[in-house]
């Protein structure tokens, strides 16, 4: 491995056995600005291949992002990257604009958080925003837990977490009627699907496929409100 200061994205994943992976964003908000700057640097010069000094920048933020975070983000863009101008917008508002609407409710589910944002005439309604501290990473973790309970052995390594993430993205699904799906799963072959591990071993995964996403919809799991309740309250 070379002498690079940091690896980002897919490049980091390919070397996950040699690296300590860090997540600078937790629950939708930047927690480590030094690491975040490395990601922005990578995006500008390796992904977009542009000089940020020559382009106005549009950045998105989560709803209810603290003012201090927005100020820090602005300072980095102007002082480190010397952008000529920038604009910060709430992700949900832009999603609604992209669908040609000014008023509506947007549900945004990310890696470590989800939120429901009511929007009226192009402006988020702050007092009605609901926040759920669960996301895709929690589904991956719950899949690991459920598989472990079923006799599969995982030790929480980066490699295993990445395999479980791919498994989640490939074969899991949301049950429209959970109780009905549980009954259906009693005949394991009706819901079972094979997943091949990097080692070549094949796992036959049954009810675990639809049990893990329920963490987003069932109140009481991990002391969080459900996504359904969060959306209705908004």
Give the CATH number for residue 61: 3.30.420.40
The confidence score (pLDDT) of residue 158 equals 46
Q: Is position 18 within any domain?
A: yes
Span 45-80, pLDDT tens digits? 999 999 999 999 999 999 999 999 999 999 999 999
Q: Is position 84 within any domain?
A: yes
Distance in angstroms (rounded) separating the CA atoms of residues 150 and 181 = 18
Q: Is position 52 within any domain?
A: yes
In the DSSP assignment, the letter for residue 126 is G
Span 127-170, pLDDT tens digits? 999 988 888 888 998 898 888 887 776 554 545 667 888 999 99
Lowest mean pLDDT among 53-62, 100-109, 218-227: 218-227
Whole-model pTM? 0.73
Distance in angstroms (rounded) separating the CA atoms of residues 193 and 132 = 30
In the DSSP assignment, the letter for residue 113 is -
Range of the domain at 211: 136-216
The confidence score (pLDDT) of residue 150 equals 78
User: Is residue 79 domain-shared with residue 22, that is, in the same domain?
Assistant: yes
Q: Is position 86 within any domain?
A: yes
Here the tokens at position 227 are 């996504």
pLDDT band of 221, cuts 50, 70, 90: very low
User: Is residue 91 domain-shared with residue 140, that is, in the same domain?
Assistant: no
Distance in angstroms (rounded) separating the CA atoms of residues 82 and 71 = 15
Q: How many domains does the chain have?
A: 2
């Amino acid at each position: 491995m070379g002498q690079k200061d940091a690896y980002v994205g897919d490049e980091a994943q390919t070397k996950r056995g040699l690296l300590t992976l860090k997540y600078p964003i937790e629950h939708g908000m930047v927690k480590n600005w030094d690491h975040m700057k490395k990601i922005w640097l990578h995006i500008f010069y390796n992904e977009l291949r542009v000089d940020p000094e020559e382009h106005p920048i549009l950045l998105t933020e989560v709803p209810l992002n603290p003012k201090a975070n927005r100020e820090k983000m602005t300072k980095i863009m102007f002082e480190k990257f010397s952008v000529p101008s920038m604009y910060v917008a709430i992700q949900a508002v832009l999603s609604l604009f992209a669908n040609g609407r000014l008023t509506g409710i947007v549900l945004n589910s990310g890696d470590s958080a989800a939120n429901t944002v009511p929007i009226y005439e192009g402006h988020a309604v702050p007092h009605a925003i609901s926040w759920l501290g669960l996301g895709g990473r929690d589904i991956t973790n719950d899949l690991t837990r459920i598989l472990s309970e079923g006799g599969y052995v995982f030790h929480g390594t980066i490699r295993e977490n990445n395999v479980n993430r791919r498994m989640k993205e490939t074969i899991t699904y949301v049950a429209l009627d959970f109780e009905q799906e549980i009954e259906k799963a009693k005949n394991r072959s009706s819901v079972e699907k094979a997943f091949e591990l990097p080692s070549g071993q094949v796992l036959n995964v049954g009810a675990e496929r639809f049990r893990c996403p329920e963490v987003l919809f069932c109140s009481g799991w991990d002391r969080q409100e459900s996504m359904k309740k969060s959306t209705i309250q908004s």
